[in-house]
């Protein structure tokens, strides 16, 4: 299995236990068909319990990691049979990365919305063509079934599970401890919202995820207020109180971060990056970069490329 497919969710779900050692909300087990030491993709061994030794009454959430020799997804028949037999008694069944192949082999994903690693989507549909594959989603929930995309998105999935169980504030606390982003927009090209802009207000966290995925849209106060279901005046006041920035400054920070990431990682023309990140034109992007970094976008790109070399 992929190491991060299991250690990512494990780290997220173990954090509340460490925060509340006197009343830990989760009991976590790492299980395999036969138990014992399992070698992961990174060569690190994980000690596991035989699945036959786990009481089914204690299984609330099942998470299936992905992986396979030579990056070829596989679904052990014995595991497929076990899941098929016991799925009705398990409240929540999840997969990370190509763990979706094990779920698909059971038939439990037939006709359902699901996702997997972007490299494996076509192969998943060959296994079950009725799956409604959402190729650009980080994770998808369809009833009791949750599926996550590429390896690191298991962390996003686990944060969503934690939020569903313990609330937004608890999930935010864990996200801050792990220095990750609580709300990430779907797709393989992720705009990472600065963690300081995340808040303890669930409505604004959802709004931030939408903003990060739609930086080229109208992100004025009236537009954002409509999306938040508030009047412009109430929204501006509430936003500033919760975030510590005005909506305009938060939008500017998100657009600037997205543009700086694109300049460092993408060969796209600066004019295109400016448009995609909501600056309108290259001159507006240049002015923003000069104010923030003291260099023009092209100089920033060259400096970053030189540092990488």
Classify residue 187 by burial, with Cβ atoms within 10 Å: 0-12, 13-18, 19+.
middle
Region of poorest pLDDT, from 42-56, 177-191, 206-220, 278-292:
177-191
- DSSP state for residue 22 in the 8-state scheme: T
Distance, C-alpha 297 to centroid of its chain: 29
- Confidence at residue 169, expressed as pLDDT on a 0 to 100 scale: 82
Please name the residue that has the structure tokens 């260099």: 295
Give me the helices (H) in 107-220, please. Answer: 121-127, 153-166, 168-178, 202-213
How would you label 207-222 residue by residue, b for 16+ Cβ within 10 Å and e otherwise? Answer: bbbebbbebeeebebe
Dig out the tokens for 215 from the structure.
Answer: 């930086």
Tens digit of pLDDT for each residue in 205-224? 888 888 988 999 999 999 99
Q: Reply yes or no on whether the pLDDT at 193 is more than 50.
A: no
Dig out the tokens for 31 from the structure.
Answer: 């299980």
Q: Reply yes or no on whether the pLDDT at 71 is more than 80.
A: no
Kindly report the pTM of this predicted structure: 0.65
CA dist., res. 294 & res. 101, Å (int)? 49
Task: Provide the pLDDT confidence category of residue 161 given band limits of 50, 70 and 90.
Answer: very high
CA dist., res. 168 & res. 157, Å (int)? 14
Strand ranges for the chain from DSSP E:
31-32, 36-39, 45-50, 61-64, 92-95, 113-114, 132-133, 139-142, 145-148
């Amino acid at each position: 299995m992929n190491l991060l497919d299991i250690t990512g969710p494990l780290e997220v779900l173990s954090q509340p236990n460490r925060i509340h050692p006197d009343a830990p909300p989760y009991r976590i087990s790492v299980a395999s068909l036969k138990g014992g030491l399992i070698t992961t993709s990174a060569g690190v061994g994980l000690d596991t319990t035989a699945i036959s030794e786990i009481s089914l009454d204690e299984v609330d959430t099942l998470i299936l990691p992905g992986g396979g020799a030579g990056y070829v997804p596989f679904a052990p028949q014995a595991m497929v049979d076990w899941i098929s037999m016991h799925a009705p008694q398990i409240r929540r069944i999840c997969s990370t990365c190509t763990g979706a192949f094990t779920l698909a082999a059971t038939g439990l994903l037939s006709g359902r919305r699901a996702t997997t690693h972007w490299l494996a989507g076509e192969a998943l549909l060959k296994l079950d063509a009725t799956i409604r594959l959402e190729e650009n989603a980080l994770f998808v929930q369809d009833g009791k079934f949750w599926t996550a995309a590429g390896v690191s998105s298991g962390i996003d999935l686990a944060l969503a599970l934690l939020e569903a169980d313990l609330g937004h504030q608890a999930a935010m606390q864990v996200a801050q401890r792990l220095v990750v982003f609580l709300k990430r927009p779907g797709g393989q090209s992720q705009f990472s919202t600065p963690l300081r802009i995340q808040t303890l207000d669930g409505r604004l966290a959802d709004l931030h995820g939408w903003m990060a995925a739609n930086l080229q849209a109208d992100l004025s106060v009236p537009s954002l207020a409509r999306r938040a279901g508030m009047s412009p005046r109430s929204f501006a006041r509430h936003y500033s109180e919760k975030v510590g920035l005005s909506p305009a400054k938060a939008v500017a920070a998100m657009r600037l971060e997205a543009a700086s990431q694109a300049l460092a990682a993408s060969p796209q023309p600066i004019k295109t990056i400016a448009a995609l990140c909501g600056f309108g034109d290259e001159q507006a992007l240049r002015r923003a970069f000069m104010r923030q970094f003291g260099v023009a976008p092209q100089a920033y790109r060259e400096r970053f490329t030189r540092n990488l070399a």
